[in-house]
Amino acid sequence: MNNEKQLSQQESLRLITEMIQKAKGSHFHENGTSAILWGAVVGFCGIMSFAQYTWKFSIGFDVWILTFLALIPQIFIAIKEKKNKIVKTHEQAVLDAVWVVYGISIFAVIIYMNTVPNASVELLAKDHIQLLKKDTLTGEVKPWKPFVLSATSILMIIYAFPTLVTGLARKFKPMIVGGIFCYGFFIASLFTSSVYDALLSGFAGICNWFIPGIILRNRYNKAKKALHV
């Protein structure tokens, strides 16, 4: 491009339009690594939880701890992607913020789910109240610790949120479909026991992130190959 060329008004307008279009066409840079990682981890944890409940075996630790361990490779992936990114769009900046808020929200809900039962018992005890549960068959009465009912359903609503936002903003159908499926799993989980909620949560991870991640990865590889041909 020659800087010294004198532009007519029409040429100026054409150049502005052309450059804006070129910038627009550079948005889809993701290689799908993060989506594959989280889809695989959440999918595995959900299905493993279901398997343990159903077939009565234990792997010796809470399988959902893997979601915390997955934060380690995620940090490395994020650093690498940031280094390789040659442009950041306004849309990308907003979507990054959505995913950060999603991460904080998931963390907050997990703290909520683990804190509320004990805190409730203590607060009620201060008011000289104890919750009891009664076995209607034997008549036995035991102290009862309240818990967040169908907690996995709440997690699934949060899973769907950033996925659907990203899908709609990017017009990326696999994430739109994944998000809609996730809301479907949420509705189904309202009527199922926690054993099946875990399985649905695993399916949500696979539909929300794993499958769209694989599609993104294929697109990225194809684009990379086309660039080097």
Partner 1 sequence: MFKELDPILHSQLRLAIMSLLISVKEAEFTFIKEKTGATAGNLSVQVQKLKEVNYIDVEKKFVDNYPQTTCKITEIGIAAFEAYVKALQQYLKV
Nearest to 157 by CA among 184, 134, 186, 133: 186
Backbone angles phi, psi at 142, to 5 degrees: -130, 155
For the bound state, the minimum distance from the C-beta of residue 21 to partner 1, rounded and expressed in Å, comes to 9
Our CB check for partner 1 shows the closer of 78 and 121 to be 78
Stretch that binds partner 1, among 8-16, 31-39, 131-139, 148-156 (CB under 8 A): 8-16
For the bound state, the minimum distance from the C-beta of residue 72 to partner 1, rounded and expressed in Å, comes to 21
- DSSP letter, residue 130: -
Our CB check for partner 1 shows the closer of 7 and 75 to be 7
CA distance 124 to 136: 24
- Out of 20, 108, 125, 187, name the contact with partner 1 by CB under 8 A: 20
Q: Is 223 in the site for partner 1 (CB under 8 A)?
A: no
CA distance 144 to 8: 80
- The first and second tokens of residue 126, run together, are 């201060």
Our CB check for partner 1 shows the closer of 126 and 171 to be 171
Return the residues of window 74-93 that contact partner 1 according to CB under 8 A: 83, 86-90, 92-93
Our CB check for partner 1 shows the closer of 92 and 194 to be 92
For the bound state, the minimum distance from the C-beta of residue 212 to partner 1, rounded and expressed in Å, comes to 24
Nearest to 78 by CA among 139, 14, 31: 31
SS3 133: strand
Beta bridge partners of 202: none
Our CB check for partner 1 shows the closer of 5 and 228 to be 5
* Residues in contact with 6: Cβ distance below 8 Å, sequence separation at least 6, in sequence order: none
- The first and second tokens of residue 205, run together, are 């991870």
List residues binding partner 1 (CB under 8 A).
1-5, 7, 9-10, 12-13, 15-16, 18-20, 22-24, 26, 83, 86-90, 92-93
